[in-house]
Each structure stands twice: as C-alpha cells, then as structure tokens.
Amino acid sequence: MKQATKIITILTVLCFPLLAQSQVSIKLSQPSREQNNVNTSKQFIAGRTCIGCKLTINNDSVYVYPTGTFAVKKELVQGKTTFVLHVRDSTGESYTKTIVYYYSPAPAPRPTETFKIDFIEVSPKGNLEVTEGDTLKVKVKAYPGQKAFWFNDTPLTELPAAQSSGVPGYYVGSYIITPNDSLLNGKLTVSLKGRNGQTAYLTSPNRYRYMRMESPRTGRTIDNMTYITSATEGDRLGPEKLGYLDKGVLLQIIGRQGEYYKVKLSSKKNAYIPAAFLDTEIPQEGVPVSIVSDVQIYGDDKYDYVTVNLSDKLPYISTQTNDPGKIIIDIHGAYAEQRINNQLRNTAEITQASWGQPTHDVFRMILSLKHNVWGYKMYYEGNKLVVRVKRVPPNLALSNMTIGVDPGHGGSNYGATGLTGAIEKNLTLGMSLLLRNALEKEGAKVLITRTSDQFVNNEERLSYYRQVDPDILLSIHMNSSANPVDVFGTATYYRLPFCEPLSAAIHKRLLETGLADFGNNGNFNFILNNPTEFPDALIETLFISNPGDEAAILEPAFQQELVQKIIQGLKDYIIQAKK
C-alpha cells in the first residue's frame, strides 16, 4: 500500500504542470525569444496554452493537444517574418503573442581575399605527444594560388575547387614523424609564399612534443572501472569504448592526445585511455610478450570458467555472436608456441573452446556456448586471466530472476523537459517504480538505482550493477529532439551483440502500444550498455519533446501499458534464451 501511495504521489507531481496552465496564455518553448535572428529557413513554434483553447497562427488553426501543447513547423522566407499567435478560450477571453524572425542564410564560403592564412586545422586534435611513425595531417585555408609549407618545409597541396565546395585556397598535407624531428613542446608553423616574394605565417593553436622510446614507458590501470577507447573523440556520450580492464593491467604508452594516453596493445592495435586512469608511478620495464601454455576450462556448481596463465596482466578485448552463441576474446601481447589444452571439465554452458593467433602477438579464444551469451566477466587472479561465463538459469522465469531497473537522471540532472513542463527525471522514476511493482508481482527480485529524486552519477550506477550482477539490467529514459514535429516514437538501444535479442524483444512489444518506430539501435555508446556481465537494454520509451508522445506518457493508463509491454518483452526474451 505504501508503494502504491508513493507512486500515485509521484504521478500527481508529474501532472501538476497541466493543472497549472488554466489561464488564457501562451508559453513558448521554441523560440525562446520574441525577436529571433536565424540562418536556417526551417523553424519550429512550439509551446503550451490553456487546455481546451483554440489557437491560430497568422489566422491558421493549430491543433492543441489535450495537454494544452502545440508544435508546428514553419518555412521562412529571407528577411523579416512575423507570426501572430492568438488563443481564445470557451468564454471568449483571448490572448495574443507576436514573434518575429529575421532570416538571413549563412554566407556561402568565400575564398580568402587578401594574402594571409585564415586558419590551420591539425589532426589528431589537441596537444600531442607523438612518436616515430605517427601521422599528422593538416588543412589550411589561405590566399589561393600560392605555395604553402608546414612541418620541416614540407609542401602542401592546394585542393581543386571542385573538392572544396567550389572554394579555392584550401591546402592539405600530412607528415609522418621520424626520430630526427625536433618537437620540444612547440607549435607548428604554416608558411604561405607568394608569387611576388611575400610570405605569411600562422602557428597552430596546440603544442607538440616528441616522445622518445629508448626505454618503454608504461603504466597500470588503477581499478576495474578503467576503460580503453578507439579514439579520443566521439559523439555526445564520448569516445567509443573498446571495453573495460581489470585493475593492474600493464599498458605501454606511446603518445598523448589531450587528456588521453595513446597505448600500444599489440603490434597492430593501439588504443586510448584517460590519463587519470593509468598509474605511471611504477617501475618502468618492458611489456612482456607472454607465451600461453596453460589453459584450463572447467565448471563449478554455478559458472563455467576459462583460465589463462600469463607472464603479466595483459590487455584484452572481447566481443560476442548470437545464433550460435560465442564469446571471442583477444589477449594482446600473448602467443601460443604449442597445442593448447581444450579439454572441458564439468562445463554446462561452454561446449567447445578453440584457439587462434590472428597476429603473432595476439592470442584469441573462441568459446562456443550451448545458448546465446547470458553474460561473462573477465578479471585477473595474479597473472592468471579468468573468464567467468554465466549459465542460462535452469528454471528460467521472471520468478527466479533478479532484474536491475535504472531510472534515468535524478536530482540536479533533470534530463529533458516536455512542452508541458514535465521533467524526464520524474517520468523515469515514476515509470521505474511501476515497473518494479509489476516485476515483483511476477516474483522477480528487483534492484533499483533510486527510489526518490536523487542524483546518482553514471559511473556509480555502472559500478553498482557490475557488483550486484543482476540477471538483466533495464535503463528507463525518455527521448528528446530539437524537432518537436517530425521526431517521435519508441526506441531501444544496445551496444554489445549479445544484448540485441533482449533489446529487440522489448522494442517489438513496445510497438504494440501504437507508438511510432524509432528503431532498435545497436552499437550505442551509453555507459550502461557497456557491461559484459549481463544482458542490458536502454529503453527510450518515447519523445517527450513531441506533444503527442508527451500527452501519452502523462496518462497513467498508458504508463501501465508501457510497463506491461516491457514485461511481455522480457518474457519473450526468456523463451528465446531457453532454446
């Protein structure tokens, strides 16, 4: 009874913005000002008025949703465009708001008109520590038709105008670092030499240092929340993660880009790691190449295991396949000189183990499973790498499972805001509490990140669930877009291949609510989509930026329907997992 009362209270809070908008008025979310200078013709007018009122924009009727919200798309002509919004309630009381756009298209790129260099772009970006064999690339915009030079007077090539949006004067080039290059934390200079003997110079905004490799520079990972990435930049969620490493893994540093070290995993594979995650105050020694000779494959009463004895804690990267279920693990800096044991002892999930050597210093394990992957953990015991493989539970049903439920955002992290003023952090909490209750009625044990308006950072969430190790993890969020008219629908997200069946099963059921299909999206870089320990799915239930979707989620009956569809999706996934 207490839980039900709490959920009803939360839902009342969620709907409060609707009750407050009873006076005849117009509150705009887009645009945020009455006078607007813009350089794109497509603009949105979206906001909220009184419930049940009639709205026109320049005398054209606009649909007002039951929540009092509205959203329209407008195409502007160049110059000044005025929109008059007029709203009237059933008693005849009215209100008018005027907004003005001044639309001037962004100027087309133009050639540099005087003898000068406009800008330099060097990649990789940021302050760099480089070493022999690294490649620097440069792009320069300057006065067309001249001679341009950069690093060690290396000439640059002016692109044909057809390759630079019709604008001449773009010069490009690259340079491969050699041991003789002198880079003493200095900037790079580009020179432009004219036909009449004049010269212009411009220096790069960043600094560059040569990292000499007479003796290896190494570091060890500080804890088991340390991750490596494929680059130093990425989308709004950060660089793409290659995976997490255990504490104490030895890595060879071969460069630095901004706040990331560049590390050499093996002869043909580099990666990046946040500098703060690597302890470099260790005895400096060469990274060994480990000869793999002792591999054990066995099971106990709960898990299957593979152990590999190594000469040190070496880095590893894993992936998976479905149908058939396989786990593929590459240990970098290791190789096998002889036939490796693949005898299985008391395993219930691993049906076969095979070994490969994709390069001379990468040892590959391929673990074939009885079912699709249910989860696995990689860690070190001393210098022995352990792969602990979860078994599909023998009595697979929600009543025998532990489900993690993660309500997105919370506290000072509001998430998105709908046109009614409804806030994502409240909606995700209300939905998650409903989901928890429904799962518990099915007999499941539920672990939940928060039960109140509390801030929990994403790293703490990830650490918590990796420690408690649920059978499945569901993250509940609401989507949002700057386009409130054309973007709507339900979506699920996963990153690792073995999580696709769970995400797809839930997504298929959510579509039965009548929501539009925004896709079951893979390779998504959300932090809680990264663990290998359990199947997970990020559920972006709908777009609260869209007035139709937002109106739906504010209906308690629709929230209950969404919860039931999520549970049906879980049950569908469980049926698949038994096969």
491 and 357 in one domain? no
Q: In this predicted model, what pLDDT tens digit does every residue of 242-277 receive, in sequence order? A: 999 999 999 999 999 999 999 999 999 999 999 999
Q: Per-residue pLDDT for 527 more than 70? A: yes
555 and 427 in one domain? yes
**Does 4 map to a domain?**
no
**Does 402 map to a domain?**
yes
* Mean pLDDT, residues 426-448: 98
524 vs 8, more confident: 524
Q: What is the pLDDT of residue 326?
A: 98
Of the three residues 176, 210, 244, the one that is the final residue of a domain is 210
Q: Per-residue pLDDT for 538 more than 70? A: yes
255 and 300 in one domain? no
- Are 149 and 196 within 8 A, CB to CB? no
Helix/strand/coil (H, E, C) string of 122-149?
EECCCCEEECCCCEEEEEEEECCCCEEE
Tell me how far apart the alpha carbons of residues 489 and 479 are, in angstroms, rounded to a whole number. Answer: 9
Q: Per-residue pLDDT for 494 more than 70? A: yes
**Does 6 map to a domain?**
no
Q: Per-residue pLDDT for 132 more than 90? A: no
239 and 329 in one domain? no
**Does 111 map to a domain?**
no
Q: Per-residue pLDDT for 119 more than 60? A: yes
CATH number of the domain that residue 255 is part of: 2.30.30.40
* Mean pLDDT, residues 333-347: 91
Q: What is the pLDDT of residue 19?
A: 44
507 and 413 in one domain? yes
User: What is the secondary structure of 35-98 as a DSSP string?
Assistant: EEEES-SEEEEEEEE-TT-EEEETTEEE---TTSEEEEEEEPPSEEEEEEEEEE-TTS-EEEEE
424 and 531 in one domain? yes
205 and 174 in one domain? yes
Minimum mean pLDDT range among 70-79, 213-222, 483-492 = 213-222
Please state, as a whole number, how many other Cβ atoms lie within 10 Å of the Cβ of residue 220: 19
Q: pLDDT over 90 for what percent of the chain?
A: 87
Dihedral of the alpha carbons of 229, 233, 236, 239, in degrees to the nearest 10: 0
CATH number of the domain that residue 310 is part of: 2.60.40.3500
Helix and strand counts by DSSP (H, E) for the chain: 6, 43
Range of the domain at 269: 217-279
Tell me how far apart the alpha carbons of residues 170 and 163 are, in angstroms, rounded to a whole number. Answer: 9
* Mean pLDDT, residues 316-324: 97
Cis status of the peptide bond prior to 31, with omega within 30 of 0: yes
Tell me how far apart the alpha carbons of residues 474 and 564 are, in angstroms, rounded to a whole number. Answer: 14
Nearest to 244 by CA among 404, 124, 376, 354: 376
Q: Per-residue pLDDT for 204 more than 90? A: yes
Q: Per-residue pLDDT for 7 more than 60? A: no
**Does 108 map to a domain?**
no
Q: Per-residue pLDDT for 194 more than 80? A: yes
Q: What is the pLDDT of residue 20?
A: 43
Q: Per-residue pLDDT for 195 more than 90? A: no
CA 408, 413, 416, 420 dihedral sign is positive
Q: In this predicted model, what pLDDT tens digit does every residue of 9-62 receive, in sequence order? A: 555 455 445 444 568 999 999 999 999 999 999 999 999 999 999 999 999 999
Q: What is the pLDDT of residue 537?
A: 98
Nearest to 89 by CA among 45, 65, 46, 55: 55
376 and 457 in one domain? no
534 and 478 in one domain? yes
CATH number of the domain that residue 425 is part of: 3.40.630.40
Tell me how far apart the alpha carbons of residues 460 and 477 are, in angstroms, rounded to a whole number. Answer: 17
Count of domains for the chain? 5
- Are 306 and 367 within 8 A, CB to CB? yes
Cis status of the peptide bond prior to 124, with omega within 30 of 0: yes
Length of the chain: 579
List the beta bridge partners of residue 219. Answer: 251
CATH number of the domain that residue 142 is part of: 2.60.40.1930
Of the three residues 210, 244, 260, the one that is the final residue of a domain is 210
Query: Locate tokens 């790293």: which residue?
Result: 459
**Does 16 map to a domain?**
no
Q: Per-residue pLDDT for 382 more than 80? A: yes
Minimum mean pLDDT range among 153-167, 203-217, 425-439, 463-477 = 203-217
Dihedral of the alpha carbons of 494, 500, 501, 503, in degrees to the nearest 10: 20
Residue type, 190: V
At 299, is the pLDDT very low, low, confident or very high (cuts 50, 70, 90)? very high
- Are 513 and 490 within 8 A, CB to CB? yes
426 and 568 in one domain? yes
Q: What is the pLDDT of residue 272?
A: 97
**Does 5 map to a domain?**
no
Q: What is the pLDDT of residue 15?
A: 46
* Mean pLDDT, residues 372-382: 98
CA 220, 224, 225, 229 dihedral sign is positive
Average pLDDT across the chain, whole number: 94
203 and 225 in one domain? no
Of the three residues 167, 186, 210, the one that is the final residue of a domain is 210
294 and 274 in one domain? no
Q: What is the pLDDT of residue 10?
A: 52
CATH number of the domain that residue 83 is part of: 2.60.40.10
At 180, is the pLDDT very low, low, confident or very high (cuts 50, 70, 90)? confident
CA 303, 308, 311, 317 dihedral sign is negative
For 182, counting Cβ atoms within 10 Å of its Cβ (0-12 exposed, 13-18 middle, 19+ buried), the class is exposed
At 555, is the pLDDT very low, low, confident or very high (cuts 50, 70, 90)? very high
**Does 183 map to a domain?**
yes
